[in-house]
Every structure is written in C-alpha cells, then in structure tokens.
C-alpha cells in the first residue's frame, strides 16, 4: 500500500491544515516538473493529495497504514434519525421536481414553484444541520490530533467512527446540494 503521507513528505496525522498540505503538494510538484518524464509520479502525487486533503479518506488511509484496517464505528441512532429525515427531504424534492417539469400550463407551473419554497427551506435546514455536524466532527478530529502522537492505538476507535460519520455526512451533503442546484436551475 502506498503511503500518501510519505509521498507528500508530511507526518502521519489525523488532522492536517489545508494550507500546510497545499504547500507540501506544490513543493513536490515543483520538484517533479524539472523532470518531464515523471507522469506516473504526478499521477501518484495527485492521488495522494486527493486522499489526504479529504478528512474522511485521510483518516481511513491513516488507519490502514497504522493498523492494516480502517473498519470500525457504527452509525448511532441520532444519525439514523437524521438520515431518515434527509431521505424524506430528498424524496420530497424529487417529487416536486417531477411535478414542476410535468406541468404544461404556466399557471400550474407557477403554483408548483410556490410549493418549491417549502422544499428549498427544508433543504437549507437539512444542509445547515449536516454542516454543523461536519464541523463538530472536524473539531473532534482536531482534538484527537494531539492524542494521536502520544498513543495512536487509543485513538483508533474514535478515528474510525469519525471517518465513517464524515463519509456519510459528505455523501448526504452532496445529495442535498445537488438538489439545491437543481432548484436554482428551475427558477
């Protein structure tokens, strides 16, 4: 398994400031530009940057490197309830998109657009909740960063939980934001 941290010449840590990561990436790409025959090295470096710049994939990669396995954690009841709410919101948005696009009458389309205000508000509320939870998880990740240096094994379970939660949050945030973009395109 390729160690993306080593490829970028950075220390293995759960949390890495984005600016520090970008600087490490640019330093490495500059050194490779001197040798144009390094296409494969550029590809590997780009992959390393993608993995390490995303907190969820960075933690998963870190756990695989350190322990051979990134599995662990489970979705709590509070996340299950939230995801149920998100699924309902997305389904409602999709139904409303269908009803707007099915209307041929300008008046009926206008009425359907009015119903979309409620969908827009619900999407915004759900996005805010997901963003707040993401910030909270990133804060937890930052707190675990110093403990990692002292005892990585002690942090393993918490990091696996954070990585799992972040993965789901990012997926659902993407879905919500995609629906919001579709709403803007309809307007």
Which residues touch 161 (CB under 8 Å, ≥6 apart)?
72, 73, 74
Q: What is the residue whose two structure tokens read 């389904």?
A: 91
Asked whether the beta carbons of 116 and 100 are under 8 A apart, the reply is: yes
Q: What is the residue whose two structure tokens read 């970028």?
A: 8
Residue 128 tokens read as 């805010």
Instruction: Give the DSSP H or E segment for 175.
Output: helix 152-186
Q: What is the pTM of this model?
A: 0.82
Q: Which of 21-25, 42-46, 73-77, 118-122 has the highest mean pLDDT?
A: 21-25
Q: Per residue in 131-165, pLDDT tens?
A: 999 999 999 999 999 899 889 999 999 999 999 99
């Amino acid at each position: 398994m390729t160690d993306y941290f080593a490829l970028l010449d950075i220390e293995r840590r759960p949390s890495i400031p984005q600016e520090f990561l970008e600087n490490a990436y640019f330093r490495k790409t500059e050194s490779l530009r001197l040798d144009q025959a390094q296409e494969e090295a550029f590809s590997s470096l780009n992959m390393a940057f993608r993995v390490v710049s995303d907190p969820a994939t960075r933690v998963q990669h870190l756990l695989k490197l350190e322990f051979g396995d990134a599995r662990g954690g489970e979705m709590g009841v509070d996340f299950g309830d939230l995801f149920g709410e998100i699924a309902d919101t997305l389904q409602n948005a999709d139904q409303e998109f269908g009803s707007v696009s099915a209307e041929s009458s300008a008046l009926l389309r206008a009425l359907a657009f009015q119903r979309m205000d409620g969908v827009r508000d619900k999407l915004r509320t759900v996005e805010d909740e997901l963003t707040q939870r993401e910030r909270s998880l990133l804060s937890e990740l930052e707190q675990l960063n110093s403990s990692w240096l002292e005892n990585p094994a002690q942090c393993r379970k918490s990091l696996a939980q954070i990585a799992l939660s972040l993965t789901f949050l990012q997926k659902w945030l993407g879905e919500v934001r995609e629906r919001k973009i579709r709403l803007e395109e309809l307007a």
